[in-house]
Chains A and B, each alone.
Chain A
Amino acid sequence: MTAIALTLRRYSAGATPGQIGLALAIALFLAVFLVVPVATVIYVAFTEKGTGAFTLVNFQDFFATDLFVRSFWNSIYVSLMSVAWASAIALPLAYLTSRFEFRGSAIIQTLGFLPLIMPPFVGAVAMTLLFGRNGTLNLLLDDWLGFKIPFMEGLNGVIFVEALHYFPFILINLSAALANIDRAMEEAAQNLGCSGMRLFRRIVFPLAMPGYVAGASLVFVKVFDDLATPLLLNAKDLLAPQAYLRVTSIGIADPMGYVISVVLIAGSIAAVWLSNLALRGKDYATVQRGGGGLSRRTLKPWESAAAYAVITLILLLVLAPHLGLLILSLATVWSFSPLPDAYTLAHYARVFGDSSLYIKNTLIYAALAGTIDVIVGTAIAYLVLRTKLIGRQWLDWTAMAALAIPGVVLGIGYLRTFYGVSLPDGTPLATLWIMIVIALAIRRLPYALRACHAALQQISVSVEEAAENLGATKARTVRRVVVPLMTGGILAGFVTSFSTAAVELSATLMLVQSNSDAPLAYGLYVFMQSAAGRGPGAALGVIAVLFVALCAYASHRLVERSEKKQGAVR
């Protein structure tokens, strides 16, 4: 008994029972809903053909196959280039909107985040109609100038689309981090004679690093593991599509699909580990709070015109797919022409009846999943950054591994693990809609986790120590001090998890059991399988985008108001 207590104490290294309990609860959650279901599927990667004995020969095959090795390097190249281009789009937007007095900052922030909500299939169709080989842009170029630009061809096409699609990860996290910087730092630098770009480069940007790195690592991992975009562009020489194609076409018994999944998981964990390494040894926390972030400068008229021009240009580019989607939803026939032949509202009438059910389901699922994500995300971030529990990093890494697991693998894992478990009335556990929520929460947990992690990194421990010195318990400190100070980051996490969960398809497709439980993305899929369904599908896509954007905007406003209220009290 004493021995156990002793070992416990040694492993807990000064943590409170509450913290240990929390860590165990999260570990259990991750084990039941992530590790076990996935393990039931991917253990095949380590078994020998015929005997089922443990072996590593499949990994040897992986590195002996040209196609896989080529895919591996292509994936790394595409991910790095996407991070570079996503940064090039996100940095000016984040900088301009958080450094200067700007009309409509909130709207720009919301619009800048829209690309993340690209509904499956329809978004892709809209992109090809605009930027494809015979898309609007290329048909016009060919007519006027006699040449075409291969926006959507090969690896460069993948980079182009991925950067447009995922730059909001950087924008959201960087904006949250910029808003968290103590104004005193900036003022101190100005007092010492620093200003302009130098102030940004040497003081502001380094202080916002945790946010940038959180966003960039998400972009890297997401692109590394993304299969929808490469498949749409027919770029198959990448790891994630290879894994998906093998799992879904060759079958569950083939080991190579899971070998690739294991490589993907390892790659994602390595990326997160490297990004933590990049931030190690530096302290990003600032003590003072409630100053409302950086001071905002008013722009001179010509500066303001230039800034608006830059922002308009970027927004036009990144919102082009949504514009295309809108046109598609109003089009009769759009085929090999810059614009549709004619316009109609019939597609909206067609989806009107179904869409309210889909929207209700989506709202419930995505909101629940987002809530689970920020709660678990905050808890993991707190355990990792504020306690010395042995193995706390593993919680972080396990949760991040979810990003690398193909949705279909998770879906099959859920069916295997939970279909055998019957409820008292005989229906299998896996058929309940709550399983869709949990699958979505697990798939989107990494987004919320990175945002919460970055937010906590920017809070100085001394704030908490002060609270504890004044007699607050650890739990009370977390509730009254830490979480309120993290609000911006938590919200960023909620919004990303919520809105990406709202358009998730691959795991959902495996788990949806009846139309009455179906979310929007499933409705879209069902429409997009036929020629006549293209318009209604696009209409449903527009509804999805509008609806998610409205929710995101509302939560922005909500937080802004509560922050103002807090500021007033202080």
Chain B
Amino acid sequence: MLRLWAATAAAIALTFIAGDAGAQAPSGKVTIVTSFAKDVTDPFKKAFEAAHPGATLEVQNRNTNAAVKFIEETRANNQVDLMWASAPDAFEVLKGKKLLQAYKPKATGIPEKVGSYPINDRDGMYFGFAASGYGIMWNERYARANKLPDPKEWQDLAAPAFHDHVSIAAPSRSGTTHLTIETILQGEGWDKGWRTIKEMAGNFRNVTERSFGVPEAVNSGQVGVGIVIDFFAFAAQAANFPVKFAYPSVTTVVPANIGIIANAPNRAGAEAFVEFILSPKGQEVLLEPGIRRLPVNTATYAKAPAGYPNPFKDPQFQKMMLFDVDKSETRTAVVDTLFDQLISFQLDGLKAATKAVHDAEAALAKKDNAQARALVKEARDLIAAMPLAEAQAAQARAAFTGAKEKGARQAELEQQWAAFGKERYAQAKGKAEQAARLAR
């Protein structure tokens, strides 16, 4: 109890001090928690410290999930000033738990929206500083050796040629992949979207648990094609890896963000860093070869090298669909768990069924057979089947709130969904094999 009072008193005192310090020049240690690599943080640290002598930037590297958990666990005695990461949903979580501090950046030259996505949080809790799009990255040497065509659209990855050549990070592990999956679901609709995702997934080589695991595998040539966020590919190109990248037409550009933590010990410093990163000088740092993200200040593109994508000008980005953050947020856990139970942990079954369908279709291409065609269609429908419809997804959410609410336990639901998938994949494989026999 005593500790609680002390903490409250300290918090009140801090608020006063911080309020006072706002007007002064930033100094001392500014602590930032980030998921960004050293290649990204070092140039910013250098530039910021040069612009503000007397201030030092202390960088704590954690992956996005760990960073959110860390800020949450240490809120009683917060020592962190800023959170800096890609995935907007991580910031939504922090905002929901009242761990962020509202602020109004003074920087100019930054438009309201990128693509059709608002750059800053509407409540002023976090601010976009760079844009990123999702797409397909591939290794040219690998593609040549395995005679893979250049992929352009998500659906291209479902072609038999790509079987066992595609890699993705699990959406439950990687905020950016989650956005990719959600983008496809919102762009194509729940049922059609899942069908596309599962047809691609039938060709997956693996589902990794780190976002960086995918570009790493593509760079080293262990996997041919990866579904990644653009800057992974641009940074790899800058490091001379033989990789290429394409934005499919159903995708979206979303901002990578920065936010001030509530009760920040050095609030003046935190605000100074936000201002710096949004200033023309800070935006130019984004163009460095090791970073290569898309600045939000439109003027900065004038200094960019030739061929640098510009989401404010290039026509492909104007078509990109609007991403509905609220919709995404209500069903995050459900979508991720569906993906894990139907794809990540059933990959062998799904791949076997997909392979059987590809083989049957190849056989049909040589010698057509109406009955076999019907069987293949049934098999494809079985693979695409989902245990719940879009409307149910938002309701299933109660099972995923951990210990807080009563209701179905997550483990129960998972077992049901996994059994659903396993059974359908086995049936699909049987039907496809039957079709192949008929076509022979």
Which of B334-360 touch A at CB < 8 Å? 336, 344-345
**In whole angstroms, how far apart are the Cα atoms of A105 and B235 in the complex?**
46
Q: Say if the beta carbon of A190 comes within 8 Å of chain B.
A: no
Q: Does B404 contact A (CB under 8 A)?
A: yes
In the complex, whether A7 has a CB less than 8 A from a CB of chain B is no
Contact B402 A251 (CB under 8 A): yes
Please, which residue of chain A has its CB at the minimum distance from the CB of B290?
A: A532
In angstroms, Cα B222 to Cα A356, docked, is 33
CB of A431, distance to nearest CB on chain B (Å): 6
State whether B407 touches A428 (Cβ < 8 A).
Answer: no
The A414-464 residues at the B interface (CB cut-off 8 A) are 415-416, 419-420, 422, 426-428, 430-431
* List of B residues within 8 angstroms of A530 by Cβ: 37-40, 212, 235, 290
Q: Mark A528-548, 1 if CB is under 8 A from B, else 0.
A: 111111100000000000000
Query: Which stretch from B46-54, B110-118, B254-262, B414-422 is at the chain A interface?
Result: B414-422
Which residue of A256, A412, A526 is within 8 Å of B69 (Cβ)? A412
Is B203 on the interface with A (CB-CB < 8 A)? no
> Which residues of B sit under 8 angstroms from A245, Cβ to Cβ?
170, 172-173, 209
Q: Is B326 an interface residue (CB 8 A)?
A: no
Q: Are B221 and A134 in touch, CB under 8 angstroms?
A: yes
User: How far apart are the CA atoms of A138 and B39 in the complex, in Å?
Assistant: 32
* Selected contact of B173 from candidates A135, A249, A531, CB within 8 Å: A249
A417 CB to closest chain B CB, in angstroms?
11
Q: Judging by beta carbons under 8 Å apart, are A512 and B235 in contact? A: no
CB within 8 Å of A: which of B235-254?
235-236, 238-242
B145 close to A336 (CB less than 8 A): yes
How far, in angstroms, from A49 to B409 measured CA to CA in the complex? Answer: 7
CB of A307 within 8 A of chain B?
Answer: no
Interface: A334 (CB within 8 A): yes
> Are B411 and A256 in contact (CB-based, < 8 A)?
yes
User: Given that A65-B411, A509-B66, A527-B38 are known contacts, is A532 also in contact with B239, CB under 8 Å in the complex?
Assistant: yes
Which residues of A lie under 8 Å from residue B209 when comparing CB positions? 231, 234, 236, 241, 245
**Distance of A65 Cα from B413 Cα, bound (Å):** 10
Nearest to A254 among chain B residues (CB) is B402
Kindly state whether residue A64 has any CB partner on chain B within 8 Å. yes
Within 8 A of B (CB), among A486-525: 509-510, 512-515, 522, 525
Q: What CA separation (Å) do A513 and B33 show in the bound complex?
A: 10
Interface flags for B207-220 (1: CB within 8 Å of A; 0: not) read 11100100111011
Q: How far is the CA of A415 from the CA of B72 in the complex (A)?
A: 10
| Smallest beta-carbon distance B420→chain A, Å | 12
Interface size on A, residues (CB 8 A): 71
Q: Kindly list chain B residues whose C-beta atoms are within 8 Å of the C-beta of A333.
A: 239-242
Q: Is A337 located at the chain interface by the 8 A CB criterion?
A: yes
Tell me which residues across on chain A come within 8 A of B418, comparing CB atoms: 65-67
The answer to whether residues A252 and B141 also contact, given A426-B10, A530-B37 and a CB cut-off of 8 A, is: no
Q: Which residues of B contact A335 (CB under 8 A)?
A: 139, 141, 219-221, 241-242
User: Taking the complex as formed, is B163 at the interface, i.e. its CB lies under 8 A from any CB of chain A?
Assistant: no
Q: A321-341: which have CB < 8 Å to B?
A: 332-337
Q: Does A261 contact B (CB under 8 A)?
A: no
- Contact at B403–A49, with CB atoms within 8 Å? yes
Which residue from chain B places its CB closest to the CB of A248 in the assembled complex?
A: B65
Q: Which of B12-34 contact A (CB under 8 A)?
A: 31
A509 to B69, CA, bound (A): 12
In the bound complex, what is the Cα–Cα distance between A532 and B409 (angstroms)? 43
Take A426-B10, A515-B59, A532-B239 as given contacts and tell me if A66 and B69 are in contact as well, using a CB distance cutoff of 8 Å.
no
Bound-state CA distance A234–B213 (Å) is 10
Find B215's partner among A134, A251, A416, A531 (CB 8 Å cutoff). Answer: A531
**Pairwise interchain contact A61-B222, C-beta atoms closer than 8 A:** no
Q: Please measure, in the bound complex, the distance between the C-alpha atom of A422 and the C-alpha atom of B79, giving whole angstroms.
A: 12
CB <8 Å contact, A256 and B410: yes
> How far, in angstroms, from A14 to B36 measured CA to CA in the complex?
59
The residue in chain B whose Cβ has the minimal distance to the Cβ of A60 is: B411
B: contact size bracket: 35 or more
**Taking each of A253, A256, A336, which has the highest tally of chain B beta carbons within 10 Å of its own beta carbon?**
A336
Nearest-neighbor residue (CB-CB) of A68 within chain B = B411
Closest to A64 in B: B415
- Report whether A412 and B38 are in contact in the complex, using a CB–CB cutoff of 8 Å: no
**Are B79 and A427 within 8 A (Cβ)?**
yes
User: Within 8 Å of chain B (Cβ to Cβ): is A133?
Assistant: yes
Closest-by-CB residue of B relative to A413 is B73
**B238 / chain A contacts, CB cutoff of 8 Å:** 531-532
A250 interface residue per 8 A CB criterion: yes
Q: How far is the CA of A415 from the CA of B208 in the complex (A)?
A: 28
A369 CA to B418 CA in the complex, in Å? Answer: 43
The reply to whether B406 and A49 contact each other, CB–CB distance below 8 Å, is yes
Asked if A52 lies at the interface with its beta carbon under 8 angstroms from chain B, I say yes
A245 — nearest CB in chain B belongs to which residue?
B209
Question: A134 CA to B409 CA in the complex, in Å?
Answer: 42
Bound together, the chains give a CA A37 to CA B415 distance in angstroms of 31
In the complex with contacts A66-B419, A529-B38, A337-B221 CB distance below 8 A: yes
Q: Mark B50-76, 1 if CB is under 8 A from A, else 0.
A: 000000001111100110011001101
Contact of B3 with A420 in the complex, beta carbons under 8 Å: yes
Query: A134 to B405, Cβ gap below 8 A?
Result: no
B239 engages A531 (CB within 8 Å): yes
A336 to B216, alpha carbons, bound, how many Å? 12
The verdict on B314 contacting chain A, using a C-beta distance below 8 Å, is: no
Interface pair A533/B403, CB less than 8 Å apart:
no
Rounded to whole angstroms, the CA-CA distance of A527 and B42 in the bound complex is 11
Q: Are A67 and B345 in contact (CB under 8 A)?
A: yes
Q: Is A123 an interface residue (CB 8 A)?
A: no
Q: Is the CB of B221 within 8 A of A532?
A: no
Indicate if the CB atoms of B37 and A422 lie closer than 8 Å.
no
Does residue A47 face the partner (Cβ distance < 8 Å to B)? yes
B60 interface neighbour in A255, A332, A512, Cβ under 8 Å: A512
Residues of A within 8 A of B403 (CB): 44, 47, 49-50, 52, 253, 255
Q: Is B384 an interface residue (CB 8 A)?
A: no
CB contacts (< 8 Å) of B10 on chain A: these are 426
Q: Does A191 contact B (CB under 8 A)?
A: no
A428 cross-chain contacts in B, Cβ below 8 A: 74, 77, 79
Q: 28 A-B pairs, CB-CB below 8 angstroms?
A: A49-B402, A49-B406, A50-B404, A50-B405, A50-B406, A67-B345, A236-B345, A237-B345, A241-B209, A245-B172, A245-B209, A250-B400, A250-B410, A253-B404, A254-B402, A255-B402, A334-B220, A335-B221, A336-B142, A337-B141, A420-B76, A426-B10, A513-B79, A531-B215, A532-B235, A532-B289, A532-B290, A534-B216
18 A-B pairs besides A236-B345, A249-B170 with CB distance below 8 A are A50-B406, A58-B409, A67-B345, A245-B170, A250-B333, A254-B410, A255-B411, A333-B242, A336-B141, A419-B76, A419-B77, A428-B77, A430-B74, A530-B212, A530-B290, A531-B219, A533-B37, A534-B239
Q: Which 4 pairs, one residue from A and one from B, show the smallest C-beta to C-beta distance?
A: A253-B402, A336-B221, A50-B406, A529-B37
User: Which A residues form the contact surface with B (CB < 8 A)?
Assistant: 44, 47, 49-52, 57-58, 61-62, 64-67, 125, 128-129, 132-135, 231, 234, 236-237, 241, 245, 248-256, 332-337, 408, 412, 415-416, 419-420, 422, 426-428, 430-431, 509-510, 512-515, 522, 525-534
